[in-house]
Amino acid sequence: MQKPDNHKPKVGLLLLAADWFWQMNIQGAGGPARHSSQSDGGRYRRVPHLVEADMAALTSALARDLELVRTGLVHNISQAKDAARKFRAARLDLLLVSSIIWSEDQPLIQVLEELPDVPLLVWCFAPSATLPKRVSVVELFRRSGAVGTAQHSAVLKRMGRTFGFVCGAPGDPAVGRTIRAYAAAARVARSLKRVTIGLLPGHCEAMTGTFTNAARLKKLIGPVVKRISVAEYAAFVAKVPRKEAAAFACSLRKRYPVVGVSERSLFQAARASLGIARLAETRRLDAIALNDLAGELHRLVGVRPFLAVPEFFAQGRVMGLEGDVTTTMGLLIARGLSEEAPMYTEIFTFDTRRNGVLAGHAGMHDLSLAESARGIRITPDYEYCEANPLEGAWLEFRAKPGRVTLASFFSDVERFKIVIAAGRSLRGAPRLQGFAHIFVKLDTPVTDFFRQAIKTGITQHWVITHADIRAELRSLAGILDMDCVEI
């Protein structure tokens, strides 16, 4: 799921009109007129110019944020076949369908039959937000796209095609936001089919809700899960040169205060962290779902790999914990939709008076999440510091302020599910000893948040992203046939 140079979603623009207009010569297309007084291009000569202007306005509204694949106006089967060939060759993320004026079914059917797996977004188009005080026949033809859109819904239903929907004029900001969100979601949905997640070494037996069937995940969503043994990982750790591990540990010590961590422990944590980064690169993994509670990991490596390796994150990789493949996939989704570093968390506890939740997790976290580099400290692994010979080392910080989206990804009984909430990460001094953490003031009353989340069924893990990606997540759920619960 490496980021391409061009981040714009690739969207095919299928603009439809009825061939009937050409047969009736309403478009001034030439040929013998049946009734010269009405069909000689006089009464309706403005229609083609108005439609062209509307197409230009529609295209202009989208071109800045999307890589458009255009075919011009499609109103017959020959044009539909040409359009489908062009769309197939382009390898679209999304097909945006708009009956810009009333259109017939056959061209749409032709294109859909040749593009059975491309996500669809249907635009019920209007050239402007308001109608003229009196609608002329010319304006009626120009504004007849709603008829075509309603007619095409029967085609889509009978073909079994799911689709997103947007309604309005090109100048409507809500229309633009909906299209951009759906296109971004479609791009991420397509990219998930190229994702490989390393499961090291397996699921966490204590947390059965995080279990994911790898075959089901690949079939319904797309990612491939590769099992990685602790022995293989330990071999990568052993191959990290001692000088390199020492240099990494030294660079961390120079940048951040060290509290209660020995040089030996910091060295081993540095080596373990570099080792897992090399493993991900060598095995061509987009993400790692690490069961960091596995006893074999602690016996063979000695510490958990929780020091942030810049190269790991620079290449777009993410790390989930406790063998939770579904939430690890959620990290990739959040990063793809927002281009912000996502944060793997549990909601540790809550504050009803401030309507906030305190969330965080052990793990290797992207340090761009931190509110300030001055607030980062190297501390022991407080979960295992008294259980293992080495106290371990990880990075404590408070996450930066700003609007955030919280998302829980769950392999539910029948379908995968996303549970979404929103709030604001608050600025302030560190609130939690020894963990990367975040304090979020929720938009929803905290008691309602927990009631809705727990009654619908979730894992304890949440992906928190410094962006409002609720619309994108809703769109993604629709594209991938996932359940979506918004709190």
Q: What is the pLDDT of residues 434-454, one digit of tens each?
A: 999 999 999 999 999 999 999
> Distance of alpha carbon 370 from its chain centroid, rounded?
22
pLDDT of 476 higher than 50: yes
Mean pLDDT value of segment 254-259: 98
pLDDT of 164 higher than 60: yes
Give the model's confidence band at 21: pLDDT under 50 very low, under 70 low, under 90 confident, else very high: confident
Q: How high is the mean pLDDT of the chain?
A: 94
- In sign, the C-alpha dihedral spanning 444, 450, 454, 460 is positive
pLDDT of 236 higher than 50: yes
Mean pLDDT value of segment 22-43: 53
Dist. CA 270–CA 258, nearest whole Å: 13
The pLDDT score that the predictor gives to residue 37 is: 47
Can 10-192 and 195-486 be said to share one CATH topology?
Answer: no
Return the structure tokens found at 209. 């809700």
pLDDT of 31 higher than 90: no
The pLDDT score that the predictor gives to residue 26 is: 59
Burial 419-444 (b: 16+ CB within 10 A, else e): bbbbbebbeeebebebbbbbbbebeb
The pLDDT score that the predictor gives to residue 20 is: 84
The pLDDT score that the predictor gives to residue 184 is: 98
Q: Which of 332, 244, 232 is nearest to 288 (CA)?
A: 332
More confident residue, 233 or 37: 233
Return the structure tokens found at 267. 């060295």
The pLDDT score that the predictor gives to residue 33 is: 42
Q: pTM for the full model?
A: 0.94
What is the CATH topology of the domain spanning 195-486? L-fucose Isomerase; Chain A, domain 3 (3.20.14)
pLDDT of 4 higher than 60: no
Return the structure tokens found at 300. 């063979």
Q: Just give the CATH number of 10-192.
A: 3.40.50.10940
Q: What is the pLDDT of residues 312-362, one digit of tens each?
A: 999 999 999 999 999 999 999 999 999 899 999 999 999 999 999 999 999
Domain boundaries defined on the chain: 10-192, 195-486
Give the model's confidence band at 42: pLDDT under 50 very low, under 70 low, under 90 confident, else very high: low
Dist. CA 325–CA 85, nearest whole Å: 37
